[in-house]
Structure 1
């Protein structure tokens, strides 16, 4: 799979990962069993971005209940709250957890990662310059 993020901005593709491989309905049902009340948003063509931060910045982020990780997806497949139109891109707020290889949590949303994606490190500036 080729990179769908600007290679000049973020360099190589990073580590290839595999999100949920079954149908979107099965993915959403599996996520709903784990997250009873959180809104779900299914995405494709995704990348998890590990923000390059100092130890001091990491400590502040962790103290706030987050991790220095973000999600960028080129394609929203389904958003329960209809905040994002199908086919549009999305960049998450800072993540709180990444579980089971396909569930990316923020304080407000659980992103269900479908199909292949990537994970890589990037500067905060590069992350916020995406779209």
Structure 2
């Protein structure tokens, strides 16, 4: 699905341009390994960070579970340290636990490293999970 299709599917929400890292692959891998020792990582490009549009009760449940209401969708995997995904695959994360420096999107099992430019947008969970 291309970017325009995703924006159209989101309805009237406005996408915001976001910036990940422009660092070299080696520098990024060194940083993610130092910052998150032993945790699998996945380098991604052409990505979207979706903020789930939740009620206050739903948001309270998300926070009490130790999550942020953020889900990552990336059109292109560059590298996955555990070889779960192949270069060129798409990936959708589980809910975020921490989002550091606009670059490191951490879930329970993986740190996704956001490369280059991407987008952020608020959307319903139904819309977010309708992608692939």
Partner Cα distance (1:5, 1:42) in 2: 23
> Counterpart in 2 of 1:3?
3
> Counterpart in 2 of 1:74?
75
Tell me whether 7-16 or 41-50 shows the greater mean CA deviation. Answer: 7-16
Alignment of 1:114-125 (within 5 A): 114-125=115-126
| Distance apart, 1:107 and its partner CA | 0.5
| Distance apart, 1:4 and its partner CA | 5.7
> Counterpart in 2 of 1:61?
62
Query: SS at 1:95's partner residue?
Result: coil
Larger strand proportion of the pair: 1
Gaps of 5+ in 1: none
Alignment of 1:14-93 (within 5 A): 14-93=15-94
Partner Cα distance (1:5, 1:114) in 2: 21
1:4 and 1:82, CA in 2 relative to 1: closer, same or farther beyond 3 A?
Answer: farther
TM-score when scaled to structure 1?
A: 0.93
Aligned length: 130
Gaps of 5+ in 2: none
Query: SS at 1:104's partner residue?
Result: strand
1:18 and 1:85, CA in 2 relative to 1: closer, same or farther beyond 3 A?
Answer: same
TM-score when scaled to structure 2?
A: 0.93
